[in-house]
Amino acid sequence: MTSRHDGEVLEPSDRPVDPWEGVNEAALAQAVQAQAARPVPGIEDMASYLAAQVSDTAHREVVGPLLDGQGASGVVVRRGAVIASWGEPTRAEMAFSATKSVLSLVGGIAFDDGALRLDEPVCRSVDLPQFGTAHGRAITWRHLLDQTSQWEGELWGKPTWVDAQSTREGTESAGGAPGEGWAYNDVRVNLTALALTVLSGRSLPDVLRTRVMTPIGASDDWSWHGYENAAVDLNGTRVPVVSGGAHWGGGLWISALDLARIGHLCLRGGAWGGRQVLSRRWIEELWTPCPVKPHYGLSWWLNDDRSVWPRAPRTGRCARGNAGSHLLWVDPARELVIASRWGAEVEQLLAEVSGAVPPVPGPLSGQGTGA
């Protein structure tokens, strides 16, 4: 399946590169055509779709804006050029938990500016009551970003215990110290967004736009939302605080093409068009395994042991949301980025596209051993 976006170059390059080198074009076309035919059902009514996913009736109220889904879309990018696409890849969709990985880029901006030190307690740089308790004072920025803070409380009317994701594959224990256990928890990610807003002194969409999205040539169609009651006072100004997911609405609304730009930026070690947008050091931190959750980095999933996507290459890293129906896949070994929106069976997509695109020679290629 092709579209008018196929062949589009996201990042111009001075070096002669062939995005089609070694690619099995027929297999690639078959893979994306199959993905276009696997839309997630029920997304055309997002309110009903979300209601069906929430088991706790006391906290199922949506408190952020919603965007109805419009079907499967996506792009495959190799060496900075679109080599396949399906649906309408310029159409913005809710990103759900893929938002968390974009939030980590905002953390990287603060890191590069010297305002954020990963292993320093958050309370040293921001004044918030959540970090004023004995437990809160021990929480570092790394704990927030790799989901090991083990913070318990309520934010924007949602308590931490209501997020069912925390119990599915978490390693934490009640009352544990920061860093000793891991849980995937939207309320804690929202706390991260609040802390980063206070640290940045302005709204996170403004930071992301000026420091990342504009430099990488993204469209103006993306937006980032919080809950109706989520705001913080910064020097007398009420500043909205965005959410890191979409369990209760909000989150990042972005197209597959713009999401792929973010993926390509990370693949290139934070560089774009000869400019270092994010430091290579930060990209390395994003993809450093968490000690208590080795296939998770700083809000990015790592497939090193193939526990995230068993049929996909171990060289891949990803942002994913809503059980993978929103996926940004970055595979440096293949110089490959895949952005898939509202498509089911994404593991099959990853396996088939990766089979059609060979690793490039180098230390990340896996040397033909299952990469």
Domains of the chain: 1-371 (3.40.710.10)
Q: Which residues of the chain fall below pLDDT 50?
A: 1-2, 365-370
Q: What is the pLDDT of residue 19?
A: 94
Q: Looking up tokens 């919080």, which residue turns up? A: 226
Please report, as a single letter, which amino acid is at residue 303.
Answer: N
Residue 196, classed as helix, strand or coil, is: helix
Instruction: Report yes or no: 105 and 99 within 8 Å, Cβ to Cβ.
Output: no
**Interatomic CA distance for residues 301 and 138, integer angstroms:** 25
Q: What tokens appear for 359 in the block?
A: 């690793």
* Residue ranges with strand state E in 62-198: 73-78, 81-86, 93-94, 154-155, 158-159
**Interatomic CA distance for residues 125 and 25, integer angstroms:** 51
**Residue 220 Rama label (left phi>0; alpha psi -120 to 50; beta):** alpha
Q: What is the pLDDT of residue 368?
A: 36
Please report, as a single letter, which amino acid is at residue 311.
Answer: R
Helices and strands in the chain, H and E counts: 10, 14
Q: What is the pLDDT of residue 55?
A: 56
**Interatomic CA distance for residues 331 and 317, integer angstroms:** 6
Q: What is the pLDDT of residue 173?
A: 63
